[in-house]
Amino acid sequence: MQTIVDLRSDTITRPTPEMRRAMAEAEVGDDVYDDDPTINRLQEVSAELLGKEAALFVPSGTMSNSIAIKTHTNPGDEILLDGEAHSMLYEAGLPAVVAAVLTRQFRANKGIPDPDDIRSKIHFEDLHSPGTALLVLENTHNRSGGVVIPLSVHKELWDIAQEHGLKVHIDGARLFNAVVASGISAREYAACADTVTFCLSKGLGCPVGSVLCGSREFIGRAKRVRKMLGGGMRQAGILAAAGLYALEHNIERLADDHANAKRLAAGIADVPGVHLVDNAPPTNMIYFDTTALGSPFVAEMAKRGVIASNTAPRRIRLVTHLDVDAEGIEKTISVVQEVGTLLAQ
């Protein structure tokens, strides 16, 4: 039987036997009553890790961003976010639907926002204009290839936000990839934001869950929004146990995913008809453009046992993760070489 290498996303990871054991043994209670000791522990550990007062366990990154955006704003406010941000493109219109806010988009340069551009886009509320209430940043930046926003940029943006009375939310779905790639702590990034969310269900290998961190007052209000969205869970300590396991065991190993991404990029850099967006991917994502259309390219790859995502007509994404090893990377290199050569003819 052919072994399948699935590089569509780092969301596809399955819990390991050790993680499942931690889940099976978790103490649980009704979290809507704050009675789940494992969720309480995950929230305390997460808040401590990010240097925030409090944290909230939520079912997904999408829900975490929507709770943050809704809790930070009033209907009719404007939020500033990258036109390529996950909240803009992949959350089914949530800022408009859930928070009733306007989105003003900026164009980041390869995922990195330009502080002068952000400053120039801030609106002040008056008789005519909506006020800009919130700046949403994404680190690492998915659509730009897992790019890490430098801490110096976060600091500059934080200063601008303070100056103009704006709140800052970081969509840190892959914050720990940024931490491992840059050597900068999660706390240092989080110090440049009012709220930060990180996902447990991506490179950290959990089946479910994200954590939203912020001030105690903010998290109190966020909890009500979570309830409103149907995200109040009951004996979900079995899921939080996976999160605690991941925070202890799966952060440092993200370096392996980053090394695998670099090896994979190097292995396909010279394939005919394949143009890497970045020859040295900074974290765990590889994007490449194809001279042929992307859909036959991924279809040919799938026939050979490697699954990739087609994210634009000629763009393909490969994401390395816990469930792909060096052998899977070598197989992917040969498959891209074979398909690239075939379709270049």
How far apart, in Å, are the Cα atoms of 244 and each of 88, 183, 189? 30, 21, 21
Rounded Cα gap, residues 140 and 213, in angstroms = 17
* CB 225 within 8 Å of CB 18: no
124 interacts with ligand TLP by CB under 6 A = no
Site string for ligand TLP, 81-120 (x = CB under 6 A): -----x---x------------------------------
Omega within 30 of 0 (cis) for the link into 320: no
Q: How far is the CB of 292 from ligand TLP (least distance, A)?
A: 23
SS3 label, residue 166: coil
Three-class SS string for 98-121? HCCCEEEEECCECCECCHHHHHHH
199 interacts with ligand TLP by CB under 6 A = yes
Near ligand TLP by CB under 6 A, which window of 58-66, 113-121, 267-275, 298-306?
58-66
Q: Which is nearer to ligand TLP, 58 or 219 (CB)?
A: 58
Near ligand TLP by CB under 6 A, which window of 57-65, 102-110, 149-157, 258-266?
57-65
CA atoms within 13 A on the CB side of 79: 31
Rounded Cα gap, residues 152 and 149, in angstroms = 8
136 interacts with ligand TLP by CB under 6 A = no
Tell how far CA 95 is from the center of its chain: 17
Q: Which is nearer to ligand TLP, 46 or 201 (CB)?
A: 201
Near ligand TLP by CB under 6 A, which window of 54-62, 145-153, 158-166, 177-185?
54-62
Q: How far is the CB of 171 from ligand TLP (least distance, A)?
A: 5
* CB 78 within 8 Å of CB 131: yes
Tokens matching residue 164? 């103009």
283 interacts with ligand TLP by CB under 6 A = no
* Residue nearest ligand TLP by beta-carbon distance: 61
Give the interface with ligand TLP as residue ranges (CB under 6 A).
9, 11, 60-62, 86, 90, 138, 142, 171, 173, 199, 201, 210
